[in-house]
Amino acid sequence: MPKIEFEPIGIFKSCYLDKFGTPRQAGLVKESEGLLIIHPKFQPELSLIGLEGFSHLWVLFYFHANGDHKFHAKIHPPRLEGKTMGLFSTRSPHRPNPIGLSLLKIKGISDAGIQVSGIDLIDKTPVLDIKPYLPSLEALPDAKEGWLSELNSRSLTVTWETEKPQDLQLLDLIENTIKQDPRPQIYRESRADGQAYRDSHAIRIHHFDVHFRILPNDEASIFKINSI
Amino acid sequence: MPKIEFEPIGIFKSCYLDKFGTPRQAGLVKESEGLLIIHPKFQPELSLIGLEGFSHLWVLFYFHANGDHKFHAKIHPPRLEGKTMGLFSTRSPHRPNPIGLSLLKIKGISDAGIQVSGIDLIDKTPVLDIKPYLPSLEALPDAKEGWLSELNSRSLTVTWETEKPQDLQLLDLIENTIKQDPRPQIYRESRADGQAYRDSHAIRIHHFDVHFRILPNDEASIFKINSI
């Protein structure tokens, strides 16, 4: 089949600087924020008119941080603890066409761009398209969500070994991001000697490295915050 | 910004053979049907495993029937009766990256493909990606839908001057498709002499041409059905 070429319409500035720690879906961490900047050639001063009346928008983007991956028809979704699933019944970024689809909340629109929250995009993500969300057609609360409905909604309990940030929004952002358990499956497993595969982890949020370790009973303990 | 290249993962077989008559959004005509065929190289026998548990899926596709269009930052949405709106606050197919996003109902999955309904895709549409719909994150009935909330939900009344099809599903499909008023803005206007711009119209559904004319008081009268 013939290839189709697209050019990004803009770029995403995210509070998440790395893949590790970025939420796996939009809407999971309400405090997360980003700025969507439309390229001047697409005349945002005109092309965004009317968007301010919508509360949410779809962002279609390119999974630019995927690395080099071959096509796998079946994959191991992080929440399935080792079981496999057909790729197209998941939202995995490793798809034949690595296009992401995220429903984000619109916080404000200005000359700088579209301020959004509840994000799952990494900093510098190329944006392919944005579309208004249409609740009258796209809000189907009774839709069936297959294998996802059988999962336990397990989340980590976050505790602090170091001083908490004074900024309460930053505090919530850090805690709610770590609560999602950012570890890939491999880091959730134990080595042959029963020790954790890796003792500690760090995620980059805004200009901080946040270091934490996983303790028994699904506890995540934050022990250090550095400015980058 | 560097271009990004995608290759279709499959093709869509639709009951709508032409752009004219194809509903403007997914979910508007429940009786409409199509078959989404995944290319064998993407191993549908494996990559679709698990999808049968979902009731709805997102289809990301290429607007292949757009014709030649220049970028316009403001457009005339069909339902705004001549008023303009910023392109990115609409779902117009004429976008910098002509990627469509449709939420379709899954009717069944077989070796032939994914049978879906409530479609707004034209026959032979190249499909870029499919993703399961996640109601727990994507069903937001209270979201605000901007300028769309101020529109009158005007639809046509459909009457028959010719014999109705015996097949009741086909009958509903035809009536509900025409009810949406497929005419572009230009055909809704009158000429200087007060006559309709065009007297009659025809849409192609399955292997039929369905001819109708618009009468006063938003009535659409079907006067002929031909097999193609």
ipTM, two decimals? 0.94
Count of Cβ atoms closer than 10 Å to residue A109 Cβ: 17
Residue B72, burial from CB neighbour count under 10 angstroms (0-12, 13-18, 19+): middle
Residues of A in contact with B61 (CB under 8 A): none
Indicate the pLDDT class of residue A194, thresholds 50, 70 and 90. low
Contact B146 A1 (CB under 8 A): no
User: What residues are paired with A201 via a beta bridge?
Assistant: A212
- The residue with tokens 């505090």 is A171
Report the residue of chain A nearest B73, measured CA to CA.
Answer: A47
| A149 contacts on B by Cβ (under 8 Å) | 53
In chain A, which residue ranges form alpha helices assigned H by DSSP? 44-47, 135-138, 168-179, 185-188
Which residues does chain B have within 8 Å of residue A136's beta carbon, measured at their own beta carbons?
Answer: 145, 148
Burial class from Cβ neighbours inside 10 Å (0-12, 13-18, 19+) for residue B78 reads: middle
pLDDT at B108 over 80: yes
pLDDT band at B115 (very low <50, low <70, confident <90, very high): very high
Q: Which of A180, A91, A28 is nearest to B54 (CA)?
A: A91
For residue B8, the chain A residue with the least C-alpha distance is A1
0.90 surpassed by pTM: yes
The continuous run of DSSP H or E covering B176 comes out as: helix B168-179
Contact (Cβ atoms closer than 8 angstroms) between residue B52 and residue A13: no
Contact A137, B25 (CB under 8 A): yes
Banded pLDDT at A111 (limits 50, 70, 90): very high
Q: What is the pLDDT of residue B194?
A: 67
**What pLDDT does residue B154 have?**
79
Residue type, B69: H
pLDDT at A55 over 70: yes
Q: What average pLDDT does chain A have?
A: 93
The more confident residue out of B41 and B185 is B41
Residues of chain A in contact with residue B93, where contact means CB-CB under 8 angstroms, are none
> In the A/B pair of chains, how many CB contacts fall below 8 A?
248
Which residue did the predictor score with more confidence, B86 or B198? B86
Model confidence at A78, in pLDDT bands (50, 70, 90)?
Answer: confident
Closest C-alpha among A130, A109, A136, A51 to residue B149: A136
Q: What is the DSSP string of B16-46?
A: B-SSTTS-SSTTS-TT-EEEEEE-GGG-HHH
